[in-house]
Amino acid sequence: MKRAPIGVFDSGYGGLTVLKALEKALPEFDFLYLGDNARTPYGTRSFDVVYEYTLQAVKYLFGQNCPLVIIACNTASAKALRNIQQLDLPKIAPENRVLGVIRPSVEKVAEITKNGQVGVLGTVGTVTSDSYPIELEKWSNGRVKSTVQEACPMWVPIVENNEIESEGAEFFIKKNIQNILRKNKNLDTLVLGCTHYPLLNKIIQKYVPKEITILEQGQIVAEKLVDYLDRHSEIKEKLTKSGIINFLTTESADTFDEKASLFLGRKVKAKKIHF
């Protein structure tokens, strides 16, 4: 039987933090991860470019027989998801589904915030799109009263270049955290609104007061996907279950294998692809 995996897409390695949670929550399913490492980061690219690249990736994953694609990237979710769902999907694959990471995160924030004072850390693209404040306003039933944001343009390059342990990482993380804490002194929830950021969470925690809940998206997205599949048996039925995870990258497969193995804590073997 031809494999029908869940496609997981990110501009680079960040989506691996989501994949890790997905494979834990749905171990029997097959996954196909695609990192557009040749063109990362997306965070500083324009709307049109992020849309074009994301659509290419989604089409590629559909071509690999993925009935469902998770865009495990906030920047792409913010800039491309709606167009893909509303304009492209009906034309290219009306029976397939594409889901993002912002909506599940927003629902979780609304569930856990006590005082409605929320902070979001993200890429320049995610922050300037205002997707979080808009969606939090729309979906939190009035529970979120204020959303402040901080763009952290250096954080994705730090992860992609494996500079996580460096002094530079510490400098930029401290600076951005101090900035957002200054924007609202009463935050009770801080969203890591970029799937790369959990890889920096050890340093982030050093600068965030203990009373503030730091939200990583992996587990949230996994929980919501389990629920989604229970409600959408027509998609669930199409997915194959042999517990196999494959990796694709648009850059060197050897480099991907080395870094991804480090992030996932086990060996992976990727295949290089061209769109």
Q: Does 156 bind ligand DGL (CB under 6 A)?
A: yes
CA dist., res. 181 & res. 184, Å (int) = 6
Q: Which of 58, 98, 169, 194 binds ligand DGL (CB under 6 A)?
A: 194
> Is residue 73 part of the contact set for ligand DGL (CB under 6 A)?
yes
Q: Closest approach of Cβ 77 to ligand DGL, in Å?
A: 7
- Residues 264 and 191: their CA atoms lie apart, in Å, by 22
Which residue number places its CB atom closest to ligand DGL?
43
200 scored as a contact of ligand DGL (CB under 6 A): no
Residue 4 vs 78, nearer CB to ligand DGL: 78
Minimum CB separation of residue 228 from ligand DGL in Å reads 19
Looking at residues 173 to 192 of the shown chain, list those that interact with ligand DGL (rule: CB under 6 A).
none
At its nearest, how many Å lie between ligand DGL and the CB of residue 3? 26
Positions marked catalytic: 73, 194
- Residues 126, 78 contacting (CB under 8 angstroms): yes
- Smallest gap from residue 182 Cβ to ligand DGL (A): 23
By C-beta, is 177 or 239 nearer to ligand DGL? 177
Q: Which stretch binds ligand DGL (CB under 6 A): 39-47, 91-99, 109-117, 237-245?
A: 39-47
Residue (15 or 67) nearer to ligand DGL, CB: 15
**Touching ligand DGL, residues 40-59 (CB under 6 A):** 40-43
Site membership for ligand DGL, residue 249 (CB under 6 A): no
Supply the DSSP string of 197-218, one letter for each residue: GGGGHHHHHHHS-TTSEEEPHH
CA distance 102 to 110: 12
Does 23 participate in binding ligand DGL (rule CB under 6 A)? no
Specify the residue for token string 């992609």: 160
| Contact status: 33 vs ligand DGL (CB under 6 A) | no
d(Cα 250, Cα 10) in Å, to the nearest integer? 11
Does the protein bind ligand DGL through residue 74 (CB under 6 A)?
A: yes
Write out the two tokens for 164: 């996580």
Q: What share of the chain is helix, strand, coil (3-state, %, to 5)?
A: 50, 15, 35
CA angle 150, 178, 119 (to 5 degrees): 40
Instruction: Kindly state whether residue 105 participates in binding ligand DGL, applying the rule CB under 6 A.
Output: no
> Considering only residues 115-134, where is the footprint of ligand DGL by CB under 6 A?
123, 126
> Is there a contact between 225 and 101 (Cβ–Cβ < 8 Å)?
no
Closest CA to 16 of 38, 33, 41, 4: 33
Q: Of 5-13, 80-88, 131-139, 237-245, which part binds ligand DGL (CB under 6 A)?
A: 5-13
* Nearest residue to 112 via CA among 121, 104, 101, 124: 104
E strands, the chain, in order:
6-10, 31-35, 68-71, 97-99, 117-122, 146-151, 189-192, 213-215, 245-249, 270-272
Give me the least distance between CB of 126 and ligand DGL, in Å please: 5
Positions in the binding site for ligand DGL (CB under 6 A): 10-12, 14, 40-43, 73-75, 123, 126, 156, 194-196
